[in-house]
Each structure stands twice: as C-alpha cells, then as structure tokens.
Amino acid sequence: MPLALRDLQAAFAAHIVGADRADLAAAVAGDTIPAAARLGVHRHHVFASLGTALAETFPTVQALVGPDFFRGLARAFIGRVLPVQPVLSEYGVDFPAFIAGYEAARDLPYLADVARLDWALNLAFHAPPGDRLQAADLSAVPAERLPSMSIALAAGAVLINSRYPLDRIWETSQPGAGDETVDLNAGASYLLVLRRPDDATFASLSAGEAAFIETLAVGRSLERAAGTAFGADPAFDLSTAFARLLSLGAFAALQ
Amino acid sequence: MNPVAGIGLRSPHLSAIGREQPATGFLEIHAENYLAGSPALRAVERLRADYAFSIHAVGLSLGSAEGLDDAHLARVAALVKRLEPAWVSDHLSWSVSGGRYFNDLLPLPYTEEALEVVVRNIARLQDALGRQVSIENPSCYLRFAHSTLSEPAFLSELVRRSGCGLLLDPNNIVVTAHNLRLDPRDWLDGLPGPAITEYHLAGHATNDADGEPILIDDHGSRVSDAVWALFAEVVKRFGARPTLIEWDTDIPPLGVLLDEAARAAGVIETVVVAGGRDAARAA
C-alpha cells in the first residue's frame, strides 16, 4: 500500500532534517543511482539554499567567521529551525540566540550581538518608509504639553546595545576594510539602527541618548525619557540630543 | 504581439536596468523576494512603467496535501494586484509540510490523489488572484514507484481539470529526462500546446551521484547546447511564446543575460520564419 500524499510529504520532510525513513526510500523507484543519492540531492539543496539565505541576512557574521565556519553554523541552525513561510528575508529571527549557545563560537562572545545587529539592519531595510517627525511638527505643539508627550520611533528604528564595541567590529568586517584590530575592552556600544530611503544603517549613540531612545521606545513620555537619560549619563543634554535624533530620522511623524 | 524574450530580474542588476533601460521583452521577478516591502520593491514598481512583468512564485507549494498557506496566498495576491503582471506562475511541486518551508521544489508522485490535491490548490490560487496561473514542469531527481501517470500526462490532466496554463521549461525537461532515463522528445508528445503561456530557459550543472552523473538545475550557467536544440524543437511543435532567461547562481553581468535572451529570440525567429516558409511551400 503506497503512502498517502500527506504521509509521503511528512516522511520526506523528516528525511530532509536527518531522519532515516525506510518507507520513503522504498517509495523511490530504484535503478543504478540509489534512492538515498537521489533523495540526497534535495536534502543538500535545502541546507545549501537556506544557508545562502542566512548568509545574505547575516553578512557581518559570515565576514567575521569565514564562509566555511558559517556553513557549519548555518547547517546546525537549519537542522534545528526551519522557516515557517517562504519569504527568506523573514527567516532567522532565532539565529542570534542560537549563536549565543553555539559551542564552537564560544571564543567569539560578541558574535551573537553582531547577529542581532545584522538582523535589525535586515528588518529596517524591509520596514515601510513612513513619514518622519520634523522639528516644525513640534513647534505646533503647545510648550506645556511637550513634557507629557510620547513619541514613537520610526518604522525599523531599533536600539542594539552591546558590551562590546559593535560599531568598530562591524566597520572592520566590511568588504574593503583594512586589517585593523579592535580592542574588545573598549567599552559598551549603543547603536540606533535606521531605515534610509535606499538602505539601512546605524548611528552610534551615547549612553544618555540610548537611555532616552529606549525609554521613548516603550511608550514613556519625553519628560520621563529625559530623566532616565540624565540618570544614565549626567552629561546628557536634552536639546542637543533631541536635535541629533531628529536629524537622524529616528522618530515617526505624529499621528 | 507578445514580447519575444525577457530576463529574470535579479537584485544585482536592479540599478543597472533602471539606469540603462535595456531593450528586453519583459522582466520576471520571484514573488517571494518582493513580499516584505523594501527599496527593491519600489524600484520594481518604477520599472513596471516601462516593462511587461511576469510574477513567478516559488513558495506557494501547490502540491502540498495540507493545502495552501492562507497568509502567504494573501501576500502573493496583494503583490499581483499591485504590479498587475502579464503572467503569474508557480511550479508542479511542493515545499511545505507540517507548516515548515523547505525552500526546494520537492517532487510529487504522479497519482490521481496528487492530481486532486494540485487541482484543488490551483483552484484556490486562481480564485484568490481572479486570473489564470501557469504551472511549470519541475526538474526531477527521482521518480516515485507508485506513480500511475507520466509527468506530461499529469500536466495535461491538470490543464484540463483546473484551466491553468503551462509554463514549459526545456532545461527542466532535459534535466528530468537525463536523471530519469527518458527521451526528452517523447516527453513533449501529447502536451496541450495551446495551454503553454511561457517558456523558461536556464543552465544546469552536472554532479556526481554515487559514481553516476546527475544533472542539477542550478540556473548557474549559459543554456546548454542540448537545451537549445530541444528549445528549437519545442518552438517548432508549439509555436512562439514569451521566453525567459533565468540565472540564480553565480549571477553574471546583465549583458550576459541579455545576450542569452537575444539568442532565444533568434531561435524563435529562425524556427517560426522557417516554419512559415514551409507552410507557404505546402500551400
């Protein structure tokens, strides 16, 4: 009795991620090329093509570890987590956490943070353009209302914090970068990822600016955000920081 | 008149095409690369004003026994509505099982059960889009022992029951025929020619499978001589159709794709003109 189509597809799926399915091999017409070699073409393609997709989404991770190491890392991840839908730019949300627990990458403790940055840049690239808040928009708001206002971040804008100098690590991994070394003890970094008209980028923030953005991002008021920023960084200057963040296009237009 | 030959639009060529506006019959995009929204989608929308488009889906998984993914179907339908392409297509294959997506065109057994599944899924797709879609013959690396129909017979029956069109890929026929020990010319017998809406052409690679060569449809080189020869035979039998050059691995400069497309147009021209001369002589 041949397998019903649904069962055949479940067996094929199990085979691809490594299960030994004798019922599937028996369903494949045999000849001089064994069923296992024929099925292997598909298993190979699934892992290779999803590995290529991960390399496109996480280019800085690949640049840091090299293509061979990346292939093994991607293989291990794909065997654990497959896409749940066919848009490959949306595959890999779990990759940074997987890297954090990946034994062979233990010597690169910053690698998971690099993956979080790559993922945030990927999300920003695919975010809707949306209108940005302009200084003129705020001049229409009565001054006494400003402190209690909350301001949303622009679509795709997100803060990536790291114990490591992530901006320097990223710069030295770009194509064409020289072989400069990065001092891993140079201190923490706070990167604001942003969508631009034709790409995604990030800006390095001070600890105060980062605390300000982080507080606004969870819907708190400007007054509360400024207070948190002073707490994190006594040198925080609200008007300078706000002007800089406005010019970066960090905020969404008022609703 | 239909555009003769076009090229698959790939992201490394996006800005060059916008800048140089090359003369090509049409452009084809993979639906799944433009569903998330991005600057690339806006670039495609700008090109849409100057070129006919084909939307080729790779992830609808029309052969899945569990049916289509509603969310993905809705996104593809929204893209089709937005770009209003001349053609929409996907493959005779499956890529989803248990809600997991395998990013491969996986093979179907050619049985009555599978036929009913694919007909049902195509009907849902065509209803959602409000238009006909075309189904592409896949590259096969294996055959299921319990298949009761040949691949062309399965496709013919699919056309008859669902009203879908056929996207005929001579490269896939050459790959399948080699891997499954079939004659590519026999494969063409009995296909419903009028249902064919588009041809695809691409290169393939030769790999080793336990000491024997197996052809892999990697879209990573120029179209092979065997495929050009079969393409001429296809055009002779079924007539001219819009023909696409696809390239997905080791993508070369844009000029190479345009060159291949010009060669495809040349084959069509030669075969159709020669055919017209024969017809005139017979009359």
> Which residue blocks in chain B are alpha helix, DSSP H?
14-20, 39-47, 70-83, 112-129, 151-162, 170-179, 184-188, 225-238, 254-282
Q: What distance in Å separates residue A127's CA from the closest CA in chain B?
A: 7
Inspect the interface and report whether the beta carbons of A13 and B102 lie closer than 8 Å: yes
A37: which chain B residues are within 8 Å (Cβ-Cβ)?
Answer: 209-210, 214
Inspect the interface and report whether the beta carbons of A6 and B66 lie closer than 8 Å: yes
Binned at pLDDT 50, 70 and 90, residue A229 comes out as very high
Q: What distance in Å separates residue A8's CA from the closest CA in chain B?
A: 9
Give the A window 3-62 contacts with B, CB below 8 Å.
4-6, 8-10, 12-13, 16, 26-35, 37-42, 45-46, 49-50, 53
What domains are there in chain B, each with its CATH number? 5-282 (3.20.20.150)
Overall residue count recorded for chain B in this entry: 283
Q: Taking Cα atoms as reference points, which of B209, B135, B203 lies closest to residue B175?
A: B203
A249-253 average pLDDT score: 95
Inspect the interface and report whether the beta carbons of A27 and B59 lie closer than 8 Å: no
pLDDT at position A129 = 83
User: DSSP 3-state assignment of B196?
Assistant: strand
Q: What distance in Å separates residue B199's CA from the closest CA in chain A?
A: 24
Q: If DSSP states are collapsed to H, E and C, what string results for B248-269?
A: CCCCCCHHHHHHHHHHHHHHHH
Give the A window 63-122 contacts with B, CB below 8 Å.
82-90
Residue A228 · residue A213 · CB < 8 Å = no
Q: What is the pTM of this model?
A: 0.94
Inspect the interface and report whether the beta carbons of A34 and B99 lie closer than 8 Å: no
Phi, psi (rounded to 5 degrees) for A101: -105, 10
Write out the H or E segment, with its range, that includes residue B100. strand B100-106
Residue A170: is its pLDDT beyond 60? yes
Overall residue count recorded for chain A in this entry: 255
Q: Taking Cα atoms as reference points, which of B151, B8, B21 lies closest to residue B91?
A: B151
Residue B88 · residue B64 · CB < 8 Å = no
Residue B82 · residue B95 · CB < 8 Å = no
A125: which chain B residues are within 8 Å (Cβ-Cβ)?
Answer: 38-39
B114-161 confidence digits (pLDDT tens): 999 999 999 999 999 999 999 999 999 999 999 999 999 999 999 999
Residue A86: is its pLDDT beyond 50? yes
pLDDT at position B1 = 37
Query: What is the block-wise mean pLDDT of chain B (283 residues), using blocks of 10 residues?
Result: 80 92 94 90 93 97 98 98 97 97 98 98 98 98 97 98 98 97 96 97 93 93 97 96 95 96 95 74 62
Interface test with B, best of A1, A3, A5, A17 (most B CBs within 10 A): A5
Residue A239: is its pLDDT beyond 60? yes
Name the residue of chain A whose CA is nearest to B209's CA.
Answer: A37
Inspect the interface and report whether the beta carbons of A4 and B104 lie closer than 8 Å: no
pLDDT at position A192 = 98
A175-203 confidence digits (pLDDT tens): 888 878 899 999 999 999 999 988 999 99
Inspect the interface and report whether the beta carbons of B141 and A197 lie closer than 8 Å: no
Residue A161: is its pLDDT beyond 60? yes
What's the one-letter identity of residue B206? T
- List residues bridging with A159 in a β-sheet: A192
Q: Taking Cα atoms as reference points, which of B14, B4, B23 lies closest to residue B258?
A: B23
pLDDT at position B280 = 63
Inspect the interface and report whether the beta carbons of A35 and B142 lie closer than 8 Å: yes
pLDDT at position B274 = 77
Rounded to whole angstroms, how far apart are CA atoms B215 and B177? 10
